[in-house]
Chains A and B, each alone.
Chain A
């Protein structure tokens, strides 16, 4: 049982680190995309406040998006992989 608890704890820590890193990365990519989209559009060179508002609105949309939620797969896939390995090895 101790071995199982150890695996669960360290697995959870590893998955959490991966989750946080991926969230930061994904958010950064999205912000960069929004910035480039604005700079390429009509508002380019215009006022800074409108640009910020556009990016903030885009980021709010992102927080509700599917891609944001797909990062939870970082927890789901390894757990399913372990269950699959247990099944394949023993049955």
Chain B
């Protein structure tokens, strides 16, 4: 039972962590080497790793997607997709895919003369499922170890903590002012019933009890 509890809790924690890790923006420092566009089949379950940039896109079984190829400071490759998120989930409200592709094209550089850029993105790269993180913004940085402070994520978690504390306070207030008085009433009513039963028992002891005690005096002592 203990193991079941911990398994469930671990699973929930993993799902919550995974949700935030997939959805929240992250910054990669990379060097853009190329951009391309490729037709993608979208008719199986890996559809969840692609966006729905507009209304008809949910019905399409394939469409063209733009990609940005990049190399990380450690020399390993990274490929981003570049898709509108539109008004759908996750709520990035990205509509400037074509502009972003142009910026990425403009920032292309070679290993000999590198131009490092910070790519803001969400999502995961997974070779097995052909999943790509979606690039949201791109901007030049000084070098491969430029520091980027995730202001948005800091703000979001502070705000979430505030909302959770507020909901807790609202619940406590509701319990103190609305639920507890009702419970007290029920408790008092119950005590009332209890008290009356006791009184009745006392009265019975008063009349009938006395007779029983008198009768008892006629009985013989219990034999040993």
Contact = CB atoms under 8 A, between A and B. Distances in A.
10 contacts: A2-B55, A25-B170, A28-B177, A31-B177, A86-B95, A89-B92, A90-B94, A90-B95, A90-B96, A90-B99
Nearest to A4: B87
Contacts of B17: none
Contacts, number: 49
Contacts of A40: none
8 cross-chain pairs, A with B, having the tightest CB-CB distances, nearest first: A3-B87, A90-B96, A25-B170, A4-B87, A86-B93, A2-B55, A3-B88, A7-B87
A89 B88 contact: no
B55 A3 contact: yes
B20 interface: no
Contacts of B54: 3
Size range of the chain A interface in the assembly: 20 to 34
Interface string A7-34: 1000000000000011011001101100
A85 B93 contact: yes
Contacts of B169: 25
A28 B173 contact: yes
B86 A3 contact: yes
B138 interface: no
A7 B86 CA distance: 11
B36 interface: no
A82 B86 CA distance: 12
